[in-house]
Chain A
Amino acid sequence: MSDVPLQAARRMALPSWATAPVVAGGAIALFWVVTLFTVHWWAPYDPTALAGMRFSPPSAEFWLGTDALGRDVLSRSLYGVRQSLPIAVAVIASSVVIGALLGALAGYIGGLADELVMRAADVTLSFPPILLAMAVTAALGPGLRNAAIAMVIVWWPIYARLMRAQVLSIREREHVEAAIASGATPSRVLFRHILPLCWSPIIVNATMDFGQIVLLAASLSFIGLGAVPPTPEWGQMISEGALHFYRWWIAAGPGMAILTVVLAFNFLGDGLRDVLDPRSR
């Protein structure tokens, strides 16, 4: 058959979403996820052990040098993922659940519920996120756990707004009216016929925000509101590196880690959007 070569070619070609940034982003994200679960088996040194001389520059023994206490920067940078990723996952998941639920109810019920939720969201969004997160963490007391709570407080309104807009648009679809006309209760209409159609922008945004949350968590640690020493945490390591500015390698390891994670999830989010929401291309 004449179209066999064509079919074969089509099978070998990558799907259209597999662009270079998406593949690179996916590979980097995969690397960090694997590291998260396996780093204790293969990291060169214990992240808190005083493994060598203070301030050793990068060498064959210490690929990224050692810090002010002689700890291996590479090992600490790798171990840092154990702080950043779980926190980002927890913050994003909580923000999505809280935000999406409040936003959906606001959009579906309307009236006073809508006003309350949306004005609360407006107030929250009127502050720069880092500032508000700092204020809340400072009020709750430093620590990664409180930093995470603060970040959820800062981040839920984004999903509340997105979800509300989605619900408002989906509820006008005729199949929703058809469901009402067949006697479905309001909660059934919302949860079975509206919400399942609302998720794609939320998923795209959550992926994109993932990097932002990693960055925000690092920022809070950088100014001393997040992780407490000697925990290997990227922001906190950079802040140590800032004290010894000309020993550039101390901050370079965690800096690269943050850079790659943020970039990877932005690329992935872009790719997801192209797949889930083709119109916004």
Chain B
Amino acid sequence: MSVDPLLAIRGLTVSFAGRSGTLLPAVRGVDLTVGQGEVLGLVGESGSGKSATMMAVMGLLPAAAMAGGSALLRGEELIGRPERFLRKVRGKRIGMIFQDPMTALDPLLTVGDQIAEAIRVHDRSTGRHAAFERAVELLSAVSIPSPRQRARQYPHEFSGGMRQRVVIATAIANDPELLIADEPTTALDVTIQAQIMELLQRLCAERRMGLVLVTHDLGVVAGVADDVAVMYAGRVVEHGRVGDTLREPRHPYTRSLLASLPRVDRRVQMLTAIAGAPPSLGALPSGCAFHPRCPLSLEICRHQDPPAREVGHSRAACHRAEDVPALMPLHGAAL
């Protein structure tokens, strides 16, 4: 394909300045691609660097963090660009959905005004009235009943699920090409989660938007995403189409994650956990960062960080990717 992909992240690094001048590597060379209208599930434990990766793309990293590498939005570099440039990208070409809808809305502005403001930030030629009308349309697009009345209400008059719909309406207000949703359903009730995911999926399909879904919920990824990328200690350890990757993961970490999911169809005495704890950024293990917790680790894993390579259906960063399916059988389909 000669057309630039919607989002192409190449060799992205993010380091936080720690105490006494040390650099803590939060993201260590991430490669990701999101196509137009595609949903990428970005999975990993807390601290695996998934949020930092997306914050780097938005240029929203705190001042103490440094980003390197490259992130191209339709071929246009986003890393290291000045604020003036990034401001025109944020909200206009990339919409962002935050985790907690209870705090992501301005408590002193009506919902309609907030959406209208998101529009007018990027298009001063839209009048107040026109922007408000557009906000009403957007509220109806995210399936909020009686949008005209609701637009005049304040966030505290909305339930959590409804607020998240408002946050989504704000994010899509300027018809962005890409949506980044940082754990959009973590703060919501399970029943509401499904509705919100359905809504996101529908909007992305209707508007041909790409979606990066940052989450630690493999179930959500399996249901919604086209691609999945699993992050561990700042690297993408496995990346592939959702169906293939989750059916036959090539990285022991992905396998362990799947194995640790509780099963509905079987009673278990204890949930399977991955032994050990994720490494701290200040003291990453030598070689493969997962080797201290990996049941399959060999001598080479201790010395050499495995590069990502095509194995089977996915790209995995594991020395033993070929052997993983045989050595770590998944007992039936977990998802």
Q: Do A and B come from one complex?
A: yes
Q: Is the CB of A181 within 8 A of B58?
A: yes
- Most chain B CB neighbours (cut-off 10 Å) among A180, A183, A188, A192: A183
Q: Is the CB of B104 within 8 A of A175?
A: yes
How far in angstroms is the closest Cβ of chain A from B219? 25
Q: Is the CB of B121 within 8 A of A174?
A: no
Q: Is the CB of B103 within 8 A of A183?
A: no
Closest chain B residue to A175, Cβ basis: B106
Q: Does B263 contact A (CB under 8 A)?
A: no
Q: Is the CB of B106 within 8 A of A193?
A: yes
Q: Is the CB of A182 within 8 A of B103?
A: no
Q: Is the CB of A192 within 8 A of B117?
A: yes
Within 8 A of A (CB), among B39-77: 58, 60
CA distance A37 to B8 in the complex (A): 70
How far in angstroms is the closest Cβ of chain A from B132? 16
Interface digits, A65-107 against B, CB 8 Å rule (1 contact, 0 not)? 0000000000000000000000000000000000000000000
For the complex, count residues of B whose C-beta is within 8 A of A: 28
CA distance A185 to B173 in the complex (A): 17
Q: Does B107 contact A (CB under 8 A)?
A: yes
Q: Contact size class for A?
A: 10 to 19
Q: Is the CB of A183 within 8 A of B60?
A: no
Closest chain A residue to B167, Cβ basis: A178
Q: Is the CB of B107 within 8 A of A182?
A: no
Q: With A174-B100, A177-B98 given, is the CB distance from A184 to B107 under 8 Å?
A: no
Majority DSSP secondary structure for residues of A touching B:
helix
Q: Is the CB of A178 within 8 A of B98?
A: yes
How far in angstroms is the closest Cβ of chain B from A108? 13
Task: Tell me which residues across on chain A come within 8 A of B100, comparing CB atoms.
Answer: 174
Q: With A182-B96, A182-B121, A184-B121 given, is the CB distance from A173 to B87 under 8 Å?
A: no
Interface digits, B106-150 against A, CB 8 Å rule (1 contact, 0 not)? 111100000001100110000000000000000000000000000
Q: Does A15 contact B (CB under 8 A)?
A: no
How far in angstroms is the closest Cβ of chain A from B86? 8
B122 contacts which of A174, A183, A192 (Cβ < 8 Å)?
Answer: A183
Q: With A183-B87, A183-B121, A192-B117 given, is the CB distance from A177 to B106 under 8 Å?
A: no
Closest chain B residue to A173, Cβ basis: B103
Task: Tell me which residues across on chain A come within 8 A of B122, comparing CB atoms.
Answer: 183
CA distance A193 to B122 in the complex (A): 17
Q: Is the CB of A177 within 8 A of B60?
A: yes
Give me 7 other A-B pairs in contact (C-beta within 8 A), A173-B103, A181-B58 excluded.
Answer: A174-B99, A175-B107, A178-B167, A181-B60, A183-B118, A184-B91, A192-B117
Q: Which residues of B come within 8 Å of A, CB atoms? A: 58, 60, 87-92, 95-96, 98-100, 103-109, 117-118, 121-122, 167, 170-171, 173
3 A-B pairs closest in CB distance: A182-B91, A183-B91, A181-B96
